[in-house]
Amino acid sequence: MKNKRLLKFIYNGLVLTAAAIIMRTVSVSFNAYVTSRVGAEGIGLFTLTLSIYGFAVTFATSGVNLAATRLIAEAMARDDEKGAKKALRACLLYSAIFGSAASLCLFFGADFIGKTLLSDIRTIPSLRLLSLSLVPISLSSSLNGYFTAVRRVSKNAACQLFEQAVKITVTAYALSLFLPKGITYSCMALVGGGAISEFASFFFLLAEYIADRHIHAKKLSAESGTKTKKGALAKALLGISVPVALSAYVRSALVTVEHILIPKTLSESGASKGSALASYGRLHSMALPIVLYPMAALTAFAGLLIPEFAEKTAANDKNAVSDMAENAIHYTLLFSVGCAGVLAVFGNSLGALIYNSGEAGVYITLLAPVVPIMYLDHVTDAMLKGIGKQVYSMVVNISDSVLSILLVLLILPKMGAVGYVLVIIIAEVFNFSLSITGLTGAVSFRFAPLRSLFPPLASAFISGSLCKTLPFGENAIGLCVKILLCVALYLVFVIVCEKFICQRNSKERKISA
């Protein structure tokens, strides 16, 4: 990337990161509040409902976000502003069709899903309520893709913050009304707050787009781009979205099956239905949000990598693609290893402090070693999509989901909830191995363990060991101080190692010259 574009990339990434971290912080805090109100079983029922909703959202969006991002980014690379506008209109129409179809299917199929698939009629009212939000979610996905492609992601960040504020406000009020009526109504309050926030988010994003279009109207009308035939545009849209959609359908369906099986297989291990739902809720709605909390920063930058890779791939600039891939892997490792160190050292304390749950803390600690693989896989997947390898990514994700279901059936009846942690670890290693193999086959880049892996591992071990025994107590302030000191020490060690390695490489180049 050129300096100006690099600065803009970093600026956009930091904006999205700041927004995502604020959202994750508020979300984890609010999740702790909700858990204390509805209990682990209530959270388990809510999570079970969301497993079906996740598939419905996948069908509603059907790969349109990636399609909008890539089509608009490619049009911008050709200086075809009008083509970018046409691409967005096509994506919005696509979103309206698939969003409406998904909404109708979930609304009228809620009774069958609740009784037959989930074996819990308490989920039926919540599923019907969630169906109303699918059209605005799909339309918002297209608009998000537009703002990502044109590098004005601050619009997305503002919308996300607004959506979170609405969701928390509405959900808290709804819980105060419906909590005394039982778990079914509590679950409806949770999903209702989310559904209303999706409507609010769409209208906020639409207002931002109208204002943005007005600001850039002169530019759009003054510049003439290449004329794009409707048939060619539709073909390009479907060529990107259909492979992604098919991948997402199959994987989401498999993930849904997996999540339906988890409480059932946990019951086979000897736990009651309520206890199984509670363990499921602690793992998925307590431990995993903490493990994935730092990934907010990576998610922001990974999303921005897609248009960058798409543009450079379209321009056949292989050197730029290789450099970006190498840097992405390197900095993801530096970041993720540090996060894994913090979670490994302070996981038990975080579970006890945030959720008052020792079991959640155990899950956080057990998942910490696989964090670098999780985070690397996320970034690698974004790079594969950016270079047009979404079909390969589809195959990898489907294979991962099939393996996860088999492991759930084999391991959970014998090992219980801890066995599902093992399932997650095995599946993540499998997925990443295939993803990185596909990336290295398509993009030529170097991986240097002496720079990217060993220094951060040593730095994480040293900083974690030093800060673990600090006498600051296990209350909120003491734990925050320990974690901040651990992060600061880690950064110092990593920066020193980076400078040392760079100086050594520079001397070697001079000697060889």
Tokens found for residue 51: 């497993």
**Is pLDDT above 70 for 272?**
no
- How much of the chain exceeds pLDDT 90, in percent? 21
Higher pLDDT, 9 or 423: 423
Query: Looking at residue 450, what is its pLDDT?
Result: 67
Return all residues near 280 (Cβ < 8 A) that are at least 6 apart.
44, 47, 48, 262, 263, 266, 417
The rounded distance, in Å, linking the Cα atoms of 99 and 225 is 31
Tokens coding 209:
């787009």
Q: Is the pLDDT of residue 221 over 50?
A: no
Contact 416, 341 (CB under 8 A): no
The pLDDT assigned to 469 comes to 81
Residue range 350-364: mean pLDDT, rounded: 86
Arithmetic mean of pLDDT, 499-506:
67
Longest dimension (CA), the chain: 78
Which pLDDT tens digit goes with each residue over 299-330? 777 877 877 887 788 778 888 888 888 888 98
| Other residues' Cβ atoms within 10 Å of the Cβ of residue 15 | 18
Contact yes or no for 16/156 (Cβ under 8 A): yes
Give residue 183's pLDDT. 79
pLDDT value at 223 more than 50? no
> What's the mean pLDDT in 218-247?
67
- At residue 282, the pLDDT reads 80
Backbone angles phi and psi of 88, in degrees to 5: -65, -40
- List the helix and strand counts (H, then E) for the chain: 20, 0
Is the pLDDT at 382 greater than 70? The verdict is yes
Q: What are the tokens at 190?
A: 């949770």
Give yes or no for a contact between 204 and 159, defined as CB atoms under 8 angstroms apart: yes
**Contact assessment for residue 125 and residue 178, using Cβ atoms and an 8 Å cutoff:** no
pLDDT score of 45: 79
Give the number of other Cβ atoms within 10 Å of residue 264's Cβ: 15
> In angstroms, rounded to a whole number, what is the distance separating the alpha carbons of residues 275 and 258?
18
Which DSSP category does 471 fall into?
A: S
CA-closest candidate to residue 314, choices 149, 88, 82: 149
Q: What is the per-residue pLDDT across 132-172, written as a single tens digit (0 to 9) for each?
A: 999 999 999 999 988 888 778 778 878 888 988 898 888 88
The set of residues, in sequence order, having a beta carbon less than 8 Å from that of 481 and lying 6+ positions away, is 470, 472
Record the tokens describing residue 414, joined without a space.
Answer: 């014998």
pLDDT tens per residue across span 436-476: 998 888 888 777 766 778 888 888 999 988 888 887 777 88
Of 17-26, 106-115, 445-454, which one has max mean pLDDT? 106-115
Rounded mean pLDDT of 44-50? 80
* DSSP state string for 121-165: GGGHHHHHHHHTTHHHHHHHHHHHHHHHHTT-THHHHHHHHHHHH
Give the residue carrying structure tokens 């099956």: 257
Least confident range from 73-77, 160-164, 503-507: namely: 503-507
Instruction: Quickly count: other Cβ atoms within 10 Å of residue 114's Cβ.
Output: 21
496 token code pair: 């020193």
